[in-house]
Each structure stands twice: as C-alpha cells, then as structure tokens.
Amino acid sequence: MTKNIAVVTGANRGIGFEICRQLARIEVKVILTTRDEEKGNKAKEILQNEGLDVVFYQMDVTSEESVQQAADYIMGNFGKLDILVNNAGIGGDHDNLGLQANIDRIKEILDTNTFGPLRVCKAFTPIMIKSNHGRIVNISSNMGALSNMGSGATGYRISKAALNAVTRIIASELEDTNIVVNSMAPGWVRTDMGGPTATRSVEEGADTAVWLAVTDNLPTGRFFQDRREIGW
C-alpha cells in the first residue's frame, strides 16, 4: 500500500517538528520543509534516527520561486500530495499596539503568516486536484479569532485572522472536490515562540493538526482546537 505523502512547512522545530513526528509515526511519508537548510537537515536526521520516514526539502514560504520549486519536487518525486500543513510562522510583536503600530513589522509578519500559506496553497493544491484528494491544515491561533481580539501583537493577530479568511476562501473554492481545508489553534505551547511558561506541550499543540490531516469525513472551512470546532 502506497503511503500518504505530507508536506509540513516551518518544521525544523516546535509544533511543526512535532507534527512531522506524529504523522510519520502513523506511516505517513513526511517532507519536512524550512528555509534554513542546516536546521532542516538536523531536524530530519533526528527523526530518521527515530526510525521515521522523513525527508527534507528547503522551502522559503516568502518566495514564490522557492515554493514552486518545492511543488515541482513533490510532483516529480512522488506524483501526489495527500496532506499539506501550513505551519511556518513568525511573531515577536507583542508590544506592537494598534494605534502605534509598526506597519513595516506587520507587513513582514503577514508575508510569512498569511501570504506564505496562500503561496503554498496556490502551488501545491494543483497536485491534490490531480488525484481529487487532500487535506490542508493551516496553523492559526486563538489570537486570530475575532471574538478574542485585544491589544498588542497587532501584526500577529491580523496575520492569523487573515489566515482564517484564506482558509474559508480556499475551502469554498475547493468545495466540489475531496480536498478538505481547515484552520486550527494549537493553544499556548511551550516552544521558542510560546516560551517556557506556556501551558501546553508540543505534543498537545500538534495533536489536532495531525487529527485534521488524517481523519475522514470532517467538514471543510472550519476552525478547530482540541479536536473540536471553535468560533472564528
């Protein structure tokens, strides 16, 4: 039986790395991607040393050329794509208040957190359409929920709210296919971004993304946390 093929972006550490591990443990072949080649290869080696079927391909989600090269690699080497997890993201603007916003910083965050997944979907979805099958999981945040907006982290909040909009748009455009597109919020996770005092482990943070990636008969265009649908 041919393994499912998964691509995970921004996967050299944190939640993305753990998503790779959990997918590979259930017999998915994982292409771990990140823009830093050295870090990506080190992450791949760790997982391969655990006996997991993981390969690395360098991809910068802020570069259309890099994203298209990665899509060509997937099509040329595997001929299909079953799972796409858009995990690559940046933050670091907790002090960026809305009325004093650093617009250049917001643009930088949007380029990775929102336009990055959109670029990747544009390039990779045609591979899924060829086989009329696929799961796209966009790693969003509770801070992107309109019902949970507050002061600070203006760029991050905007980028994740916009990513949720991208999820809805793409899900709508693919509603006549067997490609399911959803967002998920991992919660406050102990990663380099979340910090050591965060309330959740990376295993907990990755769980719902993996569940969305491999579970049949799920709705499309929705927002999830802890395997339950939540509000936008």
| pLDDT by 10s per residue, the chain, length 232 | 589 999 999 999 999 999 999 999 999 999 999 999 999 999 999 999 999 999 999 999 999 999 999 999 999 999 999 999 999 999 878 889 999 999 999 999 999 999 999 999 999 999 999 999 999 999 999 999 999 899 999 999 999 999 999 999 999 999 999 999 999 999 868 887 777 887 789 999 999 999 999 999 999 999 999 999 999 9
Q: How far apart are CA 38 and CA 30, in angstroms?
A: 18
Catalytic residue among 56, 115, 156, 224: 156
Active site residue 73: no
Q: Supply 49's token pair.
A: 């040393």
Cα–Cα–Cα angle for 190, 27, 18, nearest 5°? 10
Contacts of 14 (CB under 8 A, 6+ apart): 189, 191, 192, 193, 202
In 59-217, where does DSSP find H-type helix? 64-78, 103-113, 115-131, 154-173, 202-214
pLDDT in the model for residue 123: 98
pLDDT in the model for residue 1: 56
Q: How far apart are CA 41 and CA 161, in angstroms?
A: 32
Q: How far apart are CA 76 and CA 176, in angstroms?
A: 26
